[in-house]
Structure 1
């Protein structure tokens, strides 16, 4: 009997270890197929900027989320999607589908249209996110019909409850070293409406700048717990709650290709493709802060201003980046919401010693784009500079998992802008 018991313990431990290893994948906003073009997931709020808004909605889901993407193919492909419930760190939770979905977890993507009069042929697909039962982090995973392992893209979204109140504040860094370059987010959360046993352990917070996940602050610990007022405070003094303010974003306009848009120096086109060469940029590393325009905090929107053209006539353009500066030993990237802030081979720039500049190409749909140059090293803002006065958008996500809970709930959300 003892040997059988040991065997069952061994098997249980082995299975638990295997599950842990299997579920350790961190789900990102990613494209897994070169045919995937522009991907957007946004709330349908019927405003002009809805496409630039973060995919975050309340649990009552009076606002719907729309997933829209292009496949750069000539023919329609039968695609399906499924929803993955995640923990606060974007690993898969242990919840079964039936615990967070009202429907069977296979959704056919039936809505599509073909591009019209474009050099780059594409099929535009869209679907509304299904209703969910629980708040939390979610990922929509799109794959080819009947082949859930043949994933073509993933996108994150968040559903939240407003069970707590968040009192956010913004200021220049309290650290003397970073006072001119960093922005500090101080805040407090009040959990009076919740039955909380151990608030210091049961709450987790995530801070984001400009809807970015690549530089988000995870696992920020509270500095105090006022049990009498049911309030956790997060007021740090060693830059734990600091972001580089960065600079106002660079931008370009490729809504038209029959003449040059803003910050486009040349347009080349033939029957097969269009190339837009951006005006040569220079390093802003020694610049002073200046806000000459209201930027989009790194975002973009799709639009064509060609005479009489419709949305489906927005073409894809090969955009050429050109940063004239001396070479650095680190890798350099052109990033923004248009490529999910990814520092990878497709966003990496190559140094041209003859032109003494970093150069690269991205295939982008007609529209208006913010971007920045990122150095993959100790000083990522080497070519942009960083100022505490820069206008940025911040949000605070508060997660909660009680002693008996199997997954993290999102119990609070706040969004605000830094004001120079």
Structure 2
């Protein structure tokens, strides 16, 4: 037992040293990216969701009474004058050519005024929240948006988050999501087929003016972009392809349950309280690729904040450094392993990059997480591609239960921005009135 405890402490010390070096290198680069990205290591648990629905995706319809809610913690504590603004982007997440006053009404930036201090926690923090659009800033165009939170200048952000606003002009219908039809991909890929009906909305040249983007579990790194319909009729656009609309099916997400730090939940090897706070040591994860599929229930990568130890989760949930280990006999050549899920903004975050430990023959990584329940997967990314590959660690199984999002962007002739005129989320169709 003493040897095991000593090994755990050694892992924690090594993790902390490596991550501190990585943080210094990464967080010194604060140039704004049009991505889900945290630029300040003191900013944690950055969440955006439809107000009142923390497990839903950050999507609202244009000119509706629906709003989005932003929440985040500042581990530096105190009160800061956080400002926010919005950047309109095209279908490829490049800044659009619109001026601010062409997509915003009211102020072009504003202060985040709603904050609370943590209470009864070993890690002190200030919890901030914001609801928008609001009476100070309104958004007047549909499309892709980047929320930018900063202190002095939006070009030196604290963090940035993606969200979308749609205007239902077309109907996305006949959606079929399931096992790929081609024999070569039947066991490892999912196929997403659908048609688009413009109703009364005019799209004179759809193969030129439309851009279709399909997301898997709200991941932008492996999004599919389709420009050409397979077939065009006066009333229908057909996107029933054989290969262009295939996703690696991946596997069910793994989970971290730290709603309580008083007992070890499933998959947790140990909970330690050290001089710098709580440490949660996860059990060794296993390679799932090549193993039989196990249908473990999951949240498709989501998270929710909850403490069972106190009453108010927003300000009484504590933080813990959670340590992950993935045994592998050798380091991958010209590639890196990342922890991915909503806990990393569903993107390849430098702080979520695993480091290979030659002594233990494991990939190891740590994330500081607030009490709650988290989904995650391991993805592999080479140094040239921005997409995470699930095939090496998680495997790809057609039985995997994923959620898919279909986005229809339209750039009218002569326009300088992309409207988002169609939105579909697995099981829910958002359509114009007929």
| TM-score normalized with structure 2 length | 0.85
Trace 1:247-396 onto structure 2 (pairs within 5 A): 247-270=251-274, 272-292=276-296, 294-308=297-311, 310-327=313-330, 328-329=332-333, 330-377=335-382, 380-396=390-406
Q: Deviations over 1:78-114 (max 9, x none)?
A: 1111111111111111112222112121111111111
How many residues matched? 385
Evaluate the alpha carbon distance shift between residue 417 and residue 179 of structure 1 in structure 2; reply closer, same or farther with a 3 A threshold. Answer: farther
Instruction: Select 2:419's aligned residue among 390, 409, 416.
Output: 409
Shift in Å at residue 417 of structure 1?
A: 5.5
Which ranges in structure 2 are unaligned for 5 or more consecutive residues? 1-31, 383-387, 429-434
User: Could you tell me how far 1:213 is from its partner in structure 2?
Assistant: 0.7
Unpaired segments ≥5 residues, structure 1: 1-24
CA displacement 1:220-252 (0-9 Å, x = unmatched): 42111112xx21111222x21111111111111
What is the 5 A alignment of 1:140-151?
140-144=147-151, 146-151=152-157
Question: Is the CA contact (8 Å cut-off) linking 1:83 and 1:139 kept in structure 2?
Answer: yes
Partner of 2:168: 162
Quote the Cα distance in structure 1 between the aligned partners of 2:218 and 2:55. Answer: 10
Map Cα deviations across residues 305-332 of structure 1 (whole Å, 9 max, x no partner): 1044543011111000011232232321
Match of 2:226 in 1: 219
Is the contact between residue 218 and residue 346 of structure 2 (CA under 8 Å) also seen in structure 1? Answer: no
Does structure 1 conserve the Cα–Cα contact (< 8 Å) formed by 2:210 and 2:227?
A: no
C-alpha displacement at 1:337, in angstroms?
1.1
Distance 2:157 2:311 in 1: 36
Give how far 1:272 is off. Answer: 3.3
Q: Determine if contact 1:335/1:372 at 8 Å carries over to the other structure.
A: yes
Aligned to 1:18: none
* CA-to-aligned-CA distance 1:343-373 (integer Å, 9 cap, x gap): 3431111222332221111111111011111
1:174 counterpart = 2:181: yes
Structure 1 distance, partners of 2:409, 2:141, is 12
After TM superposition, the runs of 4+ consecutive aligned structure 1 residues lying more than 4 A away are 307-310
Counterparts of 1:281 and 1:417 in 2: how far apart (Å)?
32
**Match for residue 145 of structure 2?**
138
Q: Equivalents in 1 of 2:204, 2:33: separation in Å?
A: 29
- Measured against aligned partners, the alpha-carbon deviations of 1:260-286 in whole angstroms (never above 9, x if no partner) come to 122111000135310000011111112
> What secondary structure is seen at the aligned counterpart in 2 of 1:391?
coil
RMSD, aligned CA = 1.8
Please give the alpha-carbon distance, in whole angstroms, between the structure 1 residues aligned to 2:389 and 2:146: 31
Structure number with bigger Rg: 1
SS class of match (2:116) = strand
TM-score, normalization: structure 1? Answer: 0.88
The CA distance in 2 between the partners of 1:157 and 1:270, in whole Å, is 38
Shift of 1:138: 1.0
Q: Is the 8 A contact 2:327 2:363 kept in 1?
A: yes
What are the equivalent positions in structure 2 for 1:10-49 lying under 5 Å apart? Answer: 27-44=34-51, 46=52
Which residue of the partner structure matches residue 112 of structure 1?
Answer: 115
Q: Deviations along 1:147-198, whole A, 9 cap, x unmatched?
A: 3333111111111011110011113112322110000001110112112221
- Kept after mapping to 1: 8 A contact 2:36/2:347: no
Map 1:36-115; keep pairs closer than 5 Å.
36-44=43-51, 46=52, 50-115=53-118
Counterpart of 1:42 in 2: which secondary structure?
strand
| CA distance in structure 2 between the aligned counterparts of 1:222 and 1:78, rounded to whole angstroms | 48
Aligned mates of 1:74, 1:39 — CA distance in 2: 15
Distance (Å, rounded) in 2 between the aligned partners of 1:85 and 1:358: 38
Change (3 A) 1:404 1:303: same
